[in-house]
Structure 1
Amino acid sequence: MQFKDYYETLGVEPTAGEAEIKTAYRRLARKYHPDVSKEKGAEERFKAVNEAYEVLRDKDKRAEYDQLRAHGYRPGEEFRPPPGFGGPGFGGGGFRFEQDFGGGGGFSDFFESLFGGGRGPGRAQAPQGDVRATLSVSLEQAHAGGKQRISIDGRTLEVNIPAGIAPGQVIRLAGQGRRGGPRPSDLLLEVEYRPHAQFEVDGRNVLYTLPLAPWQAALGTTVSVPTLGGPVELRVPPDSDTGRKLRLRGRGLPGKPAPGDQIVEIEVRAPKASTDAQKDLYRQMADAFDFDPGRG
């Protein structure tokens, strides 16, 4: 098993703050998302980026990882967890279940050796002897609901995920916890959302950043925008600028009394001028506009 440098994977320094780490993750996740990327090995890079973010976004996991990294391990070196690392209680502890659909989306052996997973011991006991675990679900699954398979003690269980389930909610599987004793205990699955390459969540609302070319933002356009329920057409008004927010009503997560919305935030991106003709167009724009971005 090889040591992984999660900071190198995200392209950030070990001193990077939460905002920098999140920005780096979103940029790389968009770049390597299997649905849009044409680059060779994009799926594996996408998984590596997700794994790195899973560790560095969590202050407990990051602290434990930094402690390990301080031992001098380098990327690609053969790795064996030192005594006291890995197993129950590491990085916040508990029994963790990831999506199990026959491959794709799982974490590496390196991650599992440190933080555990749905394959081994490390079950946390709830007060009445029940077993408590974390169930990590995708935003798509939280939106639509459905079935998810998990493995525990050599058994495969199918969990029903209700549409609109929120982080922190608990799914109880009666009799599926600790075996033995007068009666089997229950398995309590506390839900968390997995990081998403395109979306963030604010309550029931889903947040999405829409990149636009300067002429699209200035002149207005209609673009196809991804949502958890599938792509929709969005009209962007003329004279839109970075930071402007547009609302797709009812396109957030299901809930009562009403579903959330999708908030689309515009981000204007200037294309790189690679040719003389393109540079000349920028010069013409500079002459045509009396514009100082510092004045707005």
Structure 2
Amino acid sequence: MHDTPPARPAHPLAAGITSGVIAGALWGLVFLAPQLLRDFTPLQMSISRYLAYGLIALLVLAPRWRRAIAPMHAADWWTLARLSMLGNLLYYVLLGAAVQWAGGAAASLIIGLLPVSVTLVGSRAAGALRLSALAWPLALCVLGVGLVGAQALAGGHDDTHDLPTRLAGLACAFGALLSWTAYSVGNARWLSRRPEISSQDGSLLTGVVTGALALLGAAPAFIGGVAHAPADWMRFWGIAVVIALFASVIGNALWNRSSRLLPLTLVGQMIVFETVFALLYGFLWEQRWPSVLEALAIACLLAGVYGCTAAHIDRRAKPA
């Protein structure tokens, strides 16, 4: 007897959007980790998070391991290895460097370009909305990122780094943008090809592969590094486990569900909520209100999501 794919919700747009919003709220937590762990390197933060992700995923899958991997072929494992590198390890190293060097607000809002990059790629899929129908929402996203980028270059609220360091941080943020765009598109396409693998199992299997890859980077990340007090190491690994559980295990499962229910041109817009929640958490951490430019940027991003969602709803409402 074979497992049947989960039933498709009666209202896939609403279910997909809800899953995307919650995933974004959980993913926004990852922007706080580099602020909390400034004495640790981006590589250490990435490796620790994904070692924890792999261990948690393996423990959850252990009781039904054979059944979970039954649908997997060799090509699927290679695909997960590529996606794990792009969307997890490489992305988080670049993100950590961007947050530490350019500031959390600048990094999170450059990642806010993900809706534009993913939508541009998704618009090439068969049956996708034309870019002309999404022109103004995408323009608002670009405007929002431009506003915060201008503030980051001017120094913003972070005077601890000079201009070259902030520029390097912005470059890392754009590198993370490219890495996660490739992951998002590749992950959505893989999930569509393998409907027999549930969204949760897809996340957990990705975690196992990511954890195995993280083991390869453990030695260069932790051997010969700066010494830390035992209390600092406890805090470091505690944050790694929390981020792995909420952002990786739960957040990735919700994102897989959103990717299955929404077209790529709308999936990309859901990433905005990671940016918005990252900003909210960052403002709470810094105990300040957003600047005028940051508030305008948030408004532009949210208006862009609204416009894109409205365009998809309008299209479905029209008779064929």
The TM-score range, normalised by the shorter chain, is under 0.3
Q: TM-score, normalised by structure 1?
A: 0.25
Largest Rg, 1 or 2: 1
More helix by share: 2
More strand by share: 1
Q: TM-score, normalised by structure 2?
A: 0.23
